[in-house]
Structure 1
Amino acid sequence: MTESHSPSQPASGDGHGYSSSHIQVLEACEAIRRRPGMYIGSTSERGLHQMVFEAVTYAVDEHLAGHADTIDVTITADGGIRIADNGRGLPVEVEESTGKPALERELTELSLGTKPHTGYRVSGGISGLGLCVVNALSGRLTVEVHRDGHRWTQEYEKGTPLTPLTRHEETGDHGTAITFLPDTDIFETTRYSFATLSQRLRELAFLNGGLAISLTDERPERPARYHHTDGLRTYVAHLNPYPPSLVHSPAIAFESEDEDATIFVQVAMQWNTYSTGGFHSFANSTRTHEGGAHEQGFRTALTDLVNDYARRQRHLSTHDEDITAEAIHEGLTAVVSVKLTHPVFEGCTRTKLSNPEAAVYVQEVVREHLTDWLDHNPDEAAAILRHIVLRRPQMLRG
């Protein structure tokens, strides 16, 4: 008879025992360096640039909190990255519970939820892990903070502090500058693409009206500056660069925030005859390539609203089939951006938004504001309907 073992009496013998000694707990830096793809998507060029976007997102959060209006990004001559903002500056006070400066905790600890030490209402990046991840995957990193009347600095190597946080001369400036070199032991390539960084930084400037973002390449020097006070409407104009093809002008744009100030929605849209159009959705300034709840809310509201309006204007009779969503989106360029206090994403790289309340609120906002725009702009509304109805033979819902 084979001997059995109860759960309270684990089997003995080499390779069969399992106890607390077999459980390995990794420090934050070691965990990130062991599996970097979990935090930045990959160790290829995509992950290399994600490092920059995570650090920039921290500066964008300062803007969203009302404390920064300028971000300067530099590709340094030695191939590193420097990101400086004019926000409040990372906190430097020593926390009694740990004996460490709050700044050091931001750069070395993995935390759940959004920015635990600075309390942002809306935050992008990887759930508050951005600076810790950047630090862990950098061969060298230096942080310089202007705060509390002084300049402060600290240096790190592969996520580990090389120096204590040091106070320097007095200053009336404020803000944070982070300079880092990606770790050549981690990444397949460490050469940054000016075009890749430029595209994303321009996008962030469109999504965050009033924020000025500059990009300088010292490898040779190549400056660029993005500052768009008109936000998403300017973004759509950038995406629709051929005026003769526009069905209406300017682009339709509106925004709204819910009563609890937990969801802020911005929408800009414009039809054209030149291209098939394109849909661009964002959540907390991060591109949601796989869409999600906010996209679903927009598409549902737009399809219902256009059909209702077409019937009210007698472009469709009560017996006609509904216009399909595909026909309505033909030639439409649209940008939908939501900023949420508690975003829920599928996957650590944030490609799809899951918040059901986002779908509901985006539907409400689109129905209210787009209906109002159509009613107050009858000539442009008629042009849009003609553009859609001209395709009526192939657009009926079966």
Structure 2
Amino acid sequence: MTESGNPAQPANVSVNEYTAAHIQVLEGHEAIRRRPGMYVGSTGERGLHHMVYEVVSYAVDEHMAGHADAIDVTITADGGIRVADNGRGLPVEAEEPTGTSAVERELTELNFGSQPHTGYGVSGGLGGVGLCAVNALSSRLTVEVRRDGHRWTQEYRKGVAVTALTRKEETSEHGTTIAFLPDAGIFETGRFSFAALSERLQELAFLNGGLAVSLTDERPQRPVRHHHPDGLRAYVARLNPYPASHLHSPAIGFESENESRTISVQVAMQWNIWSPGELHSFANSTRTREGGAHEEGFRTALTDLVNDYARRHGMLSADDEDIPAGAVREGLTAVVSVKLAHPVFEGSTRTRLRNPDAGTYVEEVVRTHLTDWLDHHQKEAESIVRRILRATPPR
């Protein structure tokens, strides 16, 4: 951490490939204030917290692009939020013919397109709308950029710039800090939940191994820091906390990326003897609570593999019916995370993933890696199948 309170800058940071030319402009931001629920889900606590997640999502994008390893989130004493990262910093140069800085364009214009916040092969958040939505729904917002050898600042009120982007003192740091106060005239509540924010930030640390995420509350002082190099295995360990109940240890974990580098998959899973089963799925670090193609691919491969293993090892006879999908997942705690260059979601809050290629690739990866694990861990595999058979309803 630097003396200014910003995360330390990782070595070998490159800023040249991320410029104002990457940002595509389609329309202004007034629609956001007229219909906030379309952009952040609600005007209640859920929407209030979604504002934080949108700013954090930009910082996570910087991490996934290889340019940041720390994010610091603070609930400020006045009830606002400050998010600082040690990435490259938002682009500050002006673009012709408007002469508007790239920072201002990102914070005031809806940038829908195939590559939001571009420079990124994978991006989370609202797909080019997130920072603009946060700005439009805030009574005030301040952005600080550390880039190109200087610190730059700009202030906004209700989405409108009230100062120009101003170059300040020299600095060798890189990164972006955004501080905002949600508009009390829009939101039904202005109080952030430390517990809810901490839960989501820890989730992001699990999903992005190597990323350190801290949360500080200045209302009382309650700092926490989440850092999970073991990634999804650590996530499963948290979800599945009773070692004596585990049918195998450690959790099964694997990851893969396709040849074109447009889809990557991470999976961690562990069976136990006590729970009915729990599956958490994510796309670009966003929780897909309604599932989608990636969950379907996982479930299809899992059901087929367990049935195949049971038949190959004489645990099911030729006359037995297949074990149903629900029984296969009995006692299974699993996390499936996909990161895609071109995600397609249903709904404004991105709760269901539609990409068929994601389902196909997840199914392929699970078949390859889980088959290998089952074949090399026969004792544990047989214990798992016996647990599943006991959970299979009689037919």
Shift in Å, 1:177: 0.3
Counterpart Cα distance in 1 of 2:361 and 2:288: 17
For structure 1, which runs of at least 5 residues remain unmatched after alignment?
1-25
Shift in Å, 1:237: 0.3
Counterpart Cα distance in 1 of 2:117 and 2:60: 16
Counterpart Cα distance in 2 of 1:142 and 1:228: 30
**Aligned residue number for residue 184 of structure 1:** 184
Q: Is the 8 A contact 2:116 2:123 kept in 1?
A: no
Q: Secondary structure at the match of 2:323?
A: coil
Shift in Å, 1:395: 5.8
**Aligned residue number for residue 372 of structure 2:** 372
Q: Secondary structure at the match of 1:267?
A: strand
Deviations 1:208-230 (A, max 9, x none): 00000000001001011000111
Deviations 1:167-203 (A, max 9, x none): 0000000000000000001100010000110110000
What one-letter code is carried by the residue in structure 2 that aligns with 1:88?
R
Report the structure number with the largest CA radius of gyration: 1
Counterpart Cα distance in 2 of 1:114 and 1:137: 24
Aligned pair 1:96/2:99, yes or no? no
Shift in Å, 1:27: 6.0
Q: Secondary structure at the match of 2:345?
A: coil
**Aligned residue number for residue 4 of structure 1:** none
Mark the CA change 1:165 to 1:212 in structure 2 (over 3 Å): closer, same or farther: same
Counterpart Cα distance in 2 of 1:269 and 1:117: 32
Deviations 1:6-40 (A, max 9, x none): xxxxxxxxxxxxxxxxxxxx962211000000101
Q: Is the 8 A contact 2:330 2:391 kept in 1?
A: no
**Aligned residue number for residue 250 of structure 2:** 250
Mark the CA change 1:165 to 1:379 in structure 2 (over 3 Å): closer, same or farther: same
**Aligned residue number for residue 112 of structure 2:** 112
Aligned pair 1:259/2:263, yes or no? no
What one-letter code is carried by the residue in structure 1 that aligns with 2:31?
A
**Aligned residue number for residue 229 of structure 2:** 229
**Aligned residue number for residue 282 of structure 1:** 282
Equivalences for residues 61-210 of structure 1 within 5 A: 61-113=61-113, 116=116, 118-210=118-210
Mark the CA change 1:308 to 1:166 in structure 2 (over 3 Å): closer, same or farther: same
What one-letter code is carried by the residue in structure 2 that aligns with 1:224?
V
Counterpart Cα distance in 2 of 1:241 and 1:109: 45
Shift in Å, 1:97: 2.6
Q: Is the 8 A contact 2:123 2:341 kept in 1?
A: yes
TM-score, length-normalised on structure 2? 0.92
Q: Is the 8 A contact 1:102 1:117 kept in 2?
A: no
Deviations 1:132-164 (A, max 9, x none): 000000000000010000000000000000100
Q: Is the 8 A contact 1:291 1:351 kept in 2?
A: yes
Q: Is the 8 A contact 1:236 1:251 kept in 2?
A: yes
What one-letter code is carried by the residue in structure 1 that aligns with 2:88?
R
Query: After TM superposition, what 4+ stretches of structure 1 lie above 6 angstroms from structure 2?
Result: none
Deviations 1:267-313 (A, max 9, x none): 01111112212110000000000000000000011001100011111
Shift in Å, 1:115: 5.2
**How much identity, in percent, do the aligned residues show?**
74
For structure 2, which runs of at least 5 residues remain unmatched after alignment?
1-25
Aligned pair 1:32/2:51, yes or no? no
Counterpart Cα distance in 1 of 2:250 and 2:262: 29
Provide the aligned length of Structure 1 versus Structure 2.
370
Shift in Å, 1:118: 3.5
CA RMSD after TM alignment: 1.2
Shift in Å, 1:117: 5.4
Counterpart Cα distance in 2 of 1:47 and 1:335: 25
TM-score, length-normalised on structure 1? 0.91
Shift in Å, 1:98: 1.9
Counterpart Cα distance in 1 of 2:221 and 2:33: 32
Q: Is the 8 A contact 1:114 1:123 kept in 2?
A: no
Mark the CA change 1:213 to 1:134 in structure 2 (over 3 Å): closer, same or farther: same
**Aligned residue number for residue 271 of structure 1:** 271
Aligned pair 1:316/2:316, yes or no? yes
Shift in Å, 1:248: 1.1
What one-letter code is carried by the residue in structure 2 that aligns with 1:328?
V
Q: Secondary structure at the match of 2:94?
A: coil
